[in-house]
Chain A
Amino acid sequence: DQQVKQNSPSLSVQEGRISILNCDYTNSMFDYFLWYKKYPAEGPTFLISISSIKDKNEDGRFTVFLNKSAKHLSLHIVPSQPGDSAVYFCAASDSGGSNYKLTFGKGTLLTVNP
């Protein structure tokens, strides 16, 4: 049973517009969340993270929002650029347990059209 769900397999946006990628989780013990970006033929690279003590974390064009009551997080990319086209994975961790183990979602393929 998937504990981290990315229900949109793909998303297409125009360059310059906002991209919003969504992630839901079911395990209430998860308290730390990460987003990874993966280009074809490369491994995932860490993008941004958020702890459950926050509801927002921002890094340049990337912002992650966390809604603990809904067990939902989202990644916003503004403005979107063609180079952002990649698969984005949401991952979660239980810092009170094995805080170094991550549970991943299936990923969302983002395509940014010029």
Chain B
Amino acid sequence: DAMVIQNPRYQVTQFGKPVTLSCSQTLNHNVMYWYQQKSSQAPKLLFHYYDKDFNNEADTPDNFQSRRPNTSFCFLDIRSPGLGDAAMYLCATSRDLGQGVQPQHFGDGTRLSIL
């Protein structure tokens, strides 16, 4: 089955220690997204890639970076995690056809804990 896979499912890191979360997709979708979701909150879009073009949300802290080396993979890098960055991180993909809205397909998320 075509899918969106996030690794690892659970990640524990130390305060200030860089961490990378990964996402891969077999859907061949041209758009990939990273969301941060805290408990009982709406998923918050951090940034997205439209093909190779990176699009940052205005309120995403500089501490968060992303890489998309090819269509299938996208990485979320947190350079110096703080306690407030503990959250579920969701990767999603969609196919933009130039018109209309296509549903996003989500991975199962990575839960990040900061010690």
Contact = CB atoms under 8 A, between A and B. Distances in A.
Interface residues of A, number: 25
A99 B100 CA distance: 7
A88 interface: no
Interface residues of B, number: 25
Contact of A46 (B96, B104, B107): B104
A93 B101 contact: yes
Contacts of A44: 43, 90, 106
B106 A43 contact: yes
B103 to A, nearest CB: 4
B31 interface: yes
Interface of A: 2, 4, 9, 32, 34, 36, 41-46, 49, 89, 93, 95, 99-107
